[in-house]
Amino acid sequence: MAEYDPTEIRTTVRRTCQRLAVTVEQAGRATARALEKKSIELKLSELYEELGRLLYGKLRNGSEDTALTERISVTMTKIEKCESALTALKTKTVKVAPATDKEKE
C-alpha cells in the first residue's frame, strides 16, 4: 500500500482550488462583458430603428420640421455614444492573474 504525504495532498488541492477560482472569476468577467456587449447591440438596434422612422417621417412630409430634425440629431448622438461604448468594450482585455511562486513549483 502506497503512503501519501498529507501535506503534499493539501498543497496540491490548494493549488488546484486557487487555479479553479481564477478560472471561474475570468469566466464571470467574460460573461459579464458578453452580456454588456449584447445589451449595447440591442440598444443600437433600437436606435437605428428609431432613426429610420424619423428619417422616413421627414422624407414623407418633405418639410423642414425643426423638432423632427432635433430628434434625429439626438438619436444620432445616442448612436455614436453606443458605438464608441461598444468599441471600447471590444478592445477591453481581461487581465489574467499571474501565477504565484508557489503555483510555479
Q: What is the CA radius of gyration of the chain?
A: 26
Residue 54: inside a domain: yes
Residue-wise pLDDT tens digits, 27-64: 999 999 999 999 999 999 999 999 999 999 888 887 77
Residue 99's pLDDT band (cuts 50, 70, 90)? low
Whether 97 maps to a domain, the answer reads no
Residue 103 falls inside a structural domain: no
Instruction: List b or e across 26-50, with b for residues whose CB sees 16 or more CB atoms inside 10 angstroms.
Output: eeeeeeeeeeeeeebeebbeebeeb
Predicted pLDDT at 13 = 92
Please say whether the beta carbons of 47 and 82 come within 8 A: yes
The count of structural domains within the chain is 1
CB 90 within 8 A of CB 37: yes
**Domain carrying residue 17:** 6-92
Confidence tier at 105 by pLDDT (50, 70, 90)? very low
The answer to whether position 11 is within a domain reads: yes
**Structural contact between residues 18 and 101, judged by C-beta atoms closer than 8 angstroms:** no
On whether residue 22 sits in a domain, the answer given is yes
Identify the pLDDT of residue 36. Answer: 92
**Mean pLDDT of the 68-92 span:** 91
Residue 100 in any domain: the answer is: no
